[in-house]
Chains A and B, each alone.
Chain A
Amino acid sequence: DTGVSQDPRHKITKRGQNVTFRCDPISEHNRLYWYRQTLGQGPEFLTYFQNEAQLEKSRLLSDRFSAERPKGSFSTLEIQRTEQGDSAMYLCASSLAGSGGNTDTQYFGPGTRLTVL
């Protein structure tokens, strides 16, 4: 499978615990995005990487959230001291910048569903 992969697919944790999610983008894609989606809403932008550089962070991304993409390949999203309000689907997407014209089409991974008890 050459699509975007995410791990784990489901995570149940207790409030106050730390969690880390991993995303492996499509191999040649240099852009990687993290989103959060709650029921009845569209995906909300969290952060964006071009190669290993984190170029944009949403105000939604409080200081409890941190993301890395150390070698410009896979990325991790860590949430510290989880709260019940963090329960959501966390989506990763990747795209190829500079592929010509206006193209910068994102492809999503399967998501990680987080439940904070």
Chain B
Amino acid sequence: AQSVTQLDSQVPVFEEAPVELRCNYSSSVSVYLFWYVQYPNQGLQLLLKYLSGSTLVKGINGFEAEFNKSQTSFHLRKPSVHISDTAEYFCAVSDTDNNDMRFGAGTRLTVKP
């Protein structure tokens, strides 16, 4: 079965600075990869997903992620963060052969003024 590791539980950053949230996965077969964001008291919202094709995926709110198969990583990046980006971010992986999605433990991004 696949699994996900989010290497940082908390990431504090100043407004307008760049940020990278790290995600590594393990799977013996092809995968789909996702990043979700969860704002306080709200449901999870899809930021972006990798299904196939170009390894650089662009999502909403200026976020992007790069799929690196050799390093089994799918790190999330944003060149300049805003206060409103403060939230919990979850990386998720699903095996393309089954219907079992696994989430990481989450990274809390805190953007300071």
Do A and B interact with each other, yes or no?
no
